[in-house]
Amino acid sequence: DVKVTQSSRYLVKRTGEKVFLECVQDMDHENMFWYRQDPGLGLRLIYFSYDVKMKEKGDIPEGYSVSREKKERFSLILESASTNQTSMYLCASSLRTPGTPAVKWSYEQYFGPGTRLTVT
């Protein structure tokens, strides 16, 4: 079974702190994603990475950065945490679609359990 793990289920940080959220997947997936989930807003994509050291901005990248030094690990960094970054953070991974897609199973994203971050 694919397993995506996140470093913490619950985290409480103070305004202005630097926060690291870690995500690890064990299925050799090329793609990794960071989302946040807020009531009434659904899941929104923050950043994704399609290879080591590669990253692309999602829909709401402001206030966040990411790091992918190893294929299995994707880190989300809040440089200076603010109260409006209190949220549920979800990491996901998937295989990469090589050019014109032909293989169905490459589209499935596997999600971790989430980290509920509170910034006070």
Partner 1 sequence: DAKTTQPTSMDCAEGRAANLPCNHSTISGNEYVYWYRQIHSQGPQYIIHGLKNNETNEMASLIITEDRKSSTLILPHATLRDTAVYYCIVTAPMEYGNKLVFGAGTILRVKS
Q: Which residues bind partner 1 (CB under 8 A)?
A: 4, 30-31, 35, 37, 40, 42-45, 48, 50, 56, 58-59, 90, 92, 94-97, 99, 101, 104, 106-114
CA distance 58 to 35: 9
CA-angle at 113, arms to 118 and 66, nearest 5°: 65
48: tokens are 């994704």
- In the complex, what is the shortest distance from the CB of residue 12 to partner 1, in angstroms, rounded to a whole number? 18
DSSP 61-93: -TT-EEEEEETTEEEEEESS--GGG-EEEEEEE
* Least CB distance to partner 1 at residue 85 (A): 19
Q: How far is the CB of 77 from partner 1 (least distance, A)?
A: 20
19 or 23: whose CB is closer to partner 1?
Answer: 23
Q: Is 34 helix (H, G, I), strand (E, B) or coil?
A: strand
Closer to partner 1 by Cβ: residue 14 or 96: 96
Q: Which is nearer to partner 1, 78 or 92 (CB)?
A: 92
